[in-house]
Amino acid sequence: MEDSVLGTNRLLAITEGVLTTIIWSSSFVFIKMGLVYLKPMTLGGMRYVTAFILLIPVMGCRRELKCNLTRDQWIHLFLMGLCAYTLANGALFWGLKYIPAITGSFLFSLLPLPVLFLGIVWLSEIPRAWQIVGFLVALAGSALFFSAGLRAGEPFPLGIVSLGVLAFAFYGVLSRRSAKDGRLSMIQLTAIPLGFGGGLLLVIGLVIEGMFGFSLEGFALVLLLAVINTIFGYLFYYRSLRVLTAFELHMILNLSPLGTVLLAGWLLGERLTLTQIIGMFIVIIGISLVQWRRQSIET
């Protein structure tokens, strides 16, 4: 019975990780669309602050506004917000102004590499041998899938987005620790870092980029990114992290570039090449290896 419950919890966590992947795979396309109406850091800051504001009444209804946290826990949540929203997503929003969505998605597909090493050092989460093989296979598939997507003439924005990937890797490890702790609800764990990191990003955006003009299209994209891609995306993300390791979850997120390209094909008219199709199947095989576990080990 216990093995059955564990298996059900793991399957649910994997499903939530897949839902996170589907939601976040659309972010790169919607961000590119939003940059037509708003400047990058302002767009990012408005997205996360809007999500934070929408979550405040939810926390109020659930009587979760009062947080009896220690100083170290507040610092931990601030660092989560700083890494995820101010640094990682701030770099992504800025970089997507100069590079294609497909390129930004490819760079974030490399996220499991730093997460793997940070998870080993900080969380003592050692991946099994076939998970390492799966990671390498998926990484090779991602490289093949996006082999024609990188532009050699854009080193600076590529470097900025790469630093954002590293910041998000730190966030992945920090959030895994908070999710395992279980002292905060999923709403609190989502909202508090949003308030810290998103608020700081919005302030930086307004100082550097100046005030912005209002447009109905821009507001609609901000609301879409705030509700679907932020609130629901991160709630599924944190729920999944309570069962899966940081490395396992981020290997599922490695599928995000595939969804980005499919959505870009629909909204932006991009088409898959034979090389990209082959790369897609290689990535899926790699993801499957990472998630597969021998029954003897589970019992």
Q: How far apart are CA 257 and CA 120, in angstroms?
A: 25
pLDDT at 299: 31
Q: In terms of Cα–Cα distance, which of 299, 30, 235, 284 is closest to 134? A: 284
3-state secondary structure of 124: coil
Tokens at residue 231, please? 């609130």
287 pLDDT band, cuts 50/70/90, is: confident
Which amino acid, residue 125? E
257, HSE (Cβ side, Cα atoms, 13 Å): 32
pLDDT at 247: 75
Report the pLDDT averaged over residues 24-28.
Answer: 90
> What are the backbone dihedrals phi and psi of residue 165, each rounded to the nearest 5 degrees, phi first?
-60, -45
Owner of token pair 């490399």:
110
Which of 17-21, 94-98, 173-177, 279-283 is predicted with the least confidence, judged by mean pLDDT? 173-177
Tokens at residue 105, please? 């998605």
67-to-52, 70, 71, 73, 258 alpha-carbon distances in Å: 15, 9, 11, 10, 39
What residues does each domain of the chain span? 2-298
pLDDT at 151: 58
Residues 6+ apart with CB under 8 A from 216: none
pTM of the full structure: 0.80
**pLDDT for 58-90, tens place per residue?**
888 888 777 777 888 889 899 999 999 999 999
